[in-house]
Amino acid sequence: MTIRTRLALQFAAILAVTLMVFSLVIYYFTYQSRQEFFTANLLARTRVVAHVYLDGTNRATAASRASYRRYLRQFYRTLPEEEAKVYNSQNKVVFREGKIQSESVPMELLKAVRRNRKPIVEEKNFRQTIGVLYHDVQRGDFVVVASSLDADSQQKLSNLRRILLGGFLASLTVVGIGGWFFARQALRPMQRIVREVDTITASDLHRRLSQADGQDEVSHLAQRFNSLLDRLETAFAGQRTFVRDASHELRTPLAALMGELEVALLQERTPDEYRRTLRSTLDAARLLSNLTNGLLQIARASDDPSQITLSLVRLDELLLQAHEEMQRRQPTCRIDLAFNENTKDGRVTPFEVRGNEALLLAAVLNVLENACKFSRSSDKPIMATLSTTPNRVVLDVLDYGLGMNEADRQQVFVPFFRAETVRNVPGHGIGLPLTAKIMSLHCGSIQVESQLHIGTQVRLDWPVSSAIKVRA
């Protein structure tokens, strides 16, 4: 079932229930009002009959009594099929007025009137019967029972039912047709969005939906979809840039390998020359291996975060492990470590976060290795300071190396980007982008501050273990 049909049916169903309840309420209160009005008329009829019985029967002759009855009828309206009876204290009929009916008054009604000493009303098929108890000093208690058919209410209520039913069906028809066209008009922007979405392919992600300039829900949907297209376009552009830069970086060591091997095969060489060629090709192979390992790490850091194994990691122990690894990789590089624990309010905040130890170690190693590579010309040591606050754990790595200008600093997280001042330093430009991805996965952040020919400071910031969650 289409949304258009569902909306039309739901709107018609809501209106049908509303009209039905409204019609029942109107009918009920109309019925109650007419019933009360007819009961009041019938009660007035019992008073007249009681008066006729008390005064009219005292007339001397039958002609006088008939004349008195005709005189009283001038003061009240005769009811349809009316009948009035007067019962004495032995429940015998002592007076009768109106149409004579074969059905007798139920004895239960007479007993109920005498017992409750108040008017009792019964109704069946629009015929009302009312019994009223009267007291007279000479004749004692007697019951006047009057009954009549409420033909007027029967006819009026029948007409009301036909009017309400006809109005109900006509309203449903009008609302059903109107709701169908209304739903069509309301969903027309959605149909336009569907047509526009169908025309957008991977080759023209720059296109945007045209319904995003309003304030309604359809415009909000178009705005969100345009935002999705923005992210997709950025992701596709980043992917193309990544593939292009990765191909360029991979081509350099591969070209060196092929060049060395082709030159070695041109002619016979001495063992020393072959050893030099093998060492050169080995260096190129190591460079290629490091590059592919870096690309693999970036791919792993970009995988589904829910698949990453998390545990409590002591960053002080991890920093010591990274320092030992750097001493093996860069034995001439001096790195001084400092640990500053937060002891505010007498409580010690541990250097503990929740994350993946292997990824966090890779992030710290990338920062330390960059500091070593770009500060070889400096005689000052690299300073790595690990500190805590009540909610954060911070690692600051400060070197006094080459540094970079502001334009280069703003692009350090772009894969394969290398600043002009460090082009002669071996590397591929994937260390800081990989570190940024790892920090993002751990709800952390990375900041780089640098001044040309003065040095660079890199700050890694994590939430403490009680607050960290892996980002989706």
Note if the pTM is more than 0.85: no
| 439-453 pLDDT, tens digit each | 888 888 999 998 888
pLDDT at 250: 67
In words, the CATH class of domain 217-300 is mainly alpha
Confidence label for 472 from pLDDT (cuts 50, 70 and 90): very low
- Report the alpha-carbon distance of residue 27 to residue 33 in Å, rounded: 10
Residue 230 has pLDDT above 90, yes or no: no
Q: Which of 28-32, 80-84, 87-91, 421-425 has the highest mean pLDDT?
A: 28-32
H/E run at residue 397: strand 392-399
Give per-residue pLDDT as tens, 115-163: 888 888 888 888 888 888 888 777 778 888 888 888 888 888 889 889 9
Assess whether pLDDT exceeds 70 at residue 68: no
Residue 74 pLDDT > 60: no
Which of the two residues, 61 and 97, has the higher pLDDT score? 97
Q: What is the predicted pLDDT for the residue at 286? A: 73
How much is the pLDDT for 299? Answer: 61
Q: 3-157: which CATH topology?
A: Beta-Lactamase (3.30.450)
Task: Return the CATH superfamily for domain 302-463.
Answer: Histidine kinase-like ATPase, C-terminal domain (3.30.565.10)
Q: What span, in angstroms and rounded, lies between the C-alpha atoms of 363 and 383?
A: 17
Task: Give CA 335 to chain center in angstroms.
Answer: 52
List, by residue range, all CATH 1.10.287.130 domains of the chain: 217-300
Q: Where in the chain is the domain with CATH 3.30.565.10?
A: 302-463
Q: What interhelical angle do 431-441 and 271-301 show, nearest 10?
A: 30
- C-alpha 423/C-alpha 418 separation (Å) is 6
What tens digit of pLDDT does each residue of 90-115 get? 888 877 777 666 567 788 888 888 88
Residue-level pLDDT at 471: 44
Q: What is the DSSP letter of 307?
A: G
DSSP code for 266: H
In b/e form, how buried is each residue of 69-94, taking b as 16+ CB within 10 angstroms? Answer: eeebeeeeeebeebbbbbbeeeeeee
Q: Evaluate whether 352 touches 309 at the Cβ level (below 8 Å).
A: no
Is the pLDDT at 342 greater than 90? The verdict is no
What pLDDT is attached to residue 300? 61
Return the minimum-mean-pLDDT range out of 128-142, 372-386, 450-464: 128-142
Closest CA to 366 of 425, 308, 427: 427
H or E, element range at 448 = strand 445-451
At 470, the pLDDT band (50, 70, 90 cuts) reads very low
Which has the minimum average pLDDT: 170-184, 275-289, 296-310? 296-310
pLDDT value for 25: 92
Q: What secondary structure letter does DSSP report for 383? A: E
Interval 236-251: pLDDT, tens = 776 666 666 566 556 6
Q: Mean pLDDT of all residues in the chain?
A: 78
- Give the list of residues 6+ apart from residue 122 with CB closer than 8 angstroms, or none: 109, 128, 129, 130
Q: Left if phi > 0, otherwise alpha if psi is -120 to 50, otherwise beta: which for 403?
A: left
Residues spanned by CATH 3.30.450.20 within the chain?
A: 3-157
Please give the pLDDT value at position 405.
Answer: 84
The pLDDT, as a whole number, for residue 368 is: 92
Mean pLDDT of 221-244: 75
User: What SS3 class is residue 313?
Assistant: strand
